Amino acid sequence: MKKFLILTTAMTLGGSFAAYANADLQAMMDDPNQWVIQTGDYANTRYSELDQINKDNVGDLQVAWTFSTGVLRGHEGSPLVIGDVMYVHTPFPNVVYALDLANDGKVLWKYEPKQDPNVIPVMCCDTVNRGVAYGDGKIFLHQADTTVVALDAKTGAVVWSVKNGDPAIGETNTATVMPVKDKVIVGISGGEFGVRGSVTAYNMSDGSLAWRGYSMGPDSDTLIDPENTTHLGKPVGPDSGTNTWEGDQWKIGGGTTWGWYSYDPDLNLVYYGSGNPSTWNPSQRPGDNRWSMTIWARDVDTGMAKWVYQMTPHDEWDFDGVNEMILTDQNIGGTDRKLLTHFDRNGLGYTLDRVTGELLVAEKFDPTVNWTTGVDMDPASPTYGRPAVVAEYSTEHNGEDVNSVGICPAALGSKDQQPAAYSPKTELFYVPTNHVCMDYEPFRVSYTAGQPYVGATLSMYPAPGSHGGMGNFIAWDGKEGKIKWSLPEQFSVWSGALATAGDIVFYGTLEGYLKAVDANTGEELYKFKTPSGIIGNVMTYSHGGKQYVAVLSGVGGWAGIGLAAGLTNPTDGLGAVGGYAALSDYTALGGAMTVFALPN
């Protein structure tokens, strides 16, 4: 099952991404002094060319200034910086601030949407939002209630707004958006409520609908061409989005799209992942449940799918496939290839050719992963591309609902949405991970619109037989398909990473520490405890000739849901409350941004 590829990197982050219709936005992304979209660039590398702060001086970092958001609960995502203005967002009610960096962070404007608080209990795993984006002079916000809003970047005035879903049937939003060319790409949350996932493109100028592609359903809904959309190099054939479902189960099939998006301007393709199938009880939805748990490549202009790859057919563990797709250009065996790397919730790190969807690497990035022995990498095999499930850790046993114990990873995965980073200098991926296992007991559940549609009880705990903690921060060597170094953490690393040309990598911890480590060795170079646990993503920018590093702190998210929502029953929060009960000994609720810089 194991197959290693020698990957010799010939990395070009900006140069390989050709100019395209929205050249102004691309130029802004290419300027390392700014941070224009949440991922930093279209390739999702979260890498900055800034190097004023480097491994030799990062130990001298000091807090430059702070900002309180005025909102508690989980603060995911990061600020943006466009010119002299920083844009900061919050969890529900999704307040947006514009701060004047040239005038001591003065609040230029504040947008506070009036949302129905009844959306809060419909949101899975905290009231988080992963941030705003910029394009065409507008700040784009996708609110919890699924309203997509375009704000004038200078004044905060609403330019247009459109409703993307209906919270009454469980549709909500926690994700950011991605501006591409003349469109804004958005997803949908709600897999735990029987929502049918989709990705939608709205026209940037006025918010009108350009296209929508569903995760499952008829070809006309999924925007799949049966003869020209491929899976592992072969046409998917007609009705691929319905023929692996029983009856009409696909209509409430999950596959939501609340993760991150990447874009290759040369290919004009957007890449993303679809989430778990509904319900969590696998015996109620026999079949492969396509196209949940799938990596998608879609044409930005039309939405048509070029290729798909389903990572976890008939998912039995809630291993959402929404984590980011990191795009790199590398040389394999003497051939330059456009690659996509994805660290999935299921514990496998994948590398695919992003032009064709060919599967090149599928390896465990946490050694405790036990639900599978690995992926069949033989193209001639009838099970090519499928993971081999270990029967002991299956949650479906001859149609009987039984309590399966000791499954690794837990439902929140070896990595959740917290994004990894990639450095072209070291040719390493830096991955925040969860080192957590679970017991999983399915039960029968019926669907009612707007009500939870889960059908499983979970308990979570640290992976046994290791360092006793619930997380690691790792450096992943794609050339050898293995971990180069690993830093144990007491709790899951729920913060997004940042790599810089200064040969350092930043990440945050659930206790609230911002940490800086040597990109080559993992040696800890700096840490500072912020006001609350960090589940935000570290970013960097330069202003007035000085480099800054910023991060939101405010404990919450799935791992911190017990603190965020005041839950105490160990199985609440879909099993996370008991697993992370000790977190309250180290941090409390908060909502703050901390900005760091070197002393003058």
C-alpha to C-alpha distance for 253 and 61, rounded to whole angstroms: 48
- Is residue 485 helix, strand or coil? strand
Q: Which amino acid is at 493?
A: V
C-alpha to C-alpha distance for 431 and 446, rounded to whole angstroms: 37
Write down the catalytic residue from 126, 219, 318, 320.
318
Contacts of 66 (CB under 8 A, 6+ apart): 531, 592, 593, 594, 595
Q: Which amino acid is at 494?
A: W
- Pairing relationship of beta strands 372-375 and 359-364 according to DSSP bridges: unpaired
Task: Answer yes or no: 572 catalytic.
Answer: no
DSSP structure string for 460-471: EEEPTTSSSSSE
| CB distance 324 to 363 below 8 Å | no
| CB distance 489 to 472 below 8 Å | yes
C-alpha to C-alpha distance for 123 and 418, rounded to whole angstroms: 18
Using the structure block, give the residue that is written with the tokens 């702190």. Answer: 553
Task: At 568, list the tokens.
Answer: 């105490």
- Pairing relationship of beta strands 482-489 and 498-500 according to DSSP bridges: unpaired
| CB distance 375 to 387 below 8 Å | yes
Radius of gyration of the chain measured on its C-alpha atoms: 22
| CA proximity to 552, closest of 596, 517, 502 | 596
Residues in the chain: 600
CB atoms within 10 A of CB 598: 17
| CB distance 20 to 181 below 8 Å | yes
Q: Which amino acid is at 238?
A: P
Active-site amino acid positions: 318
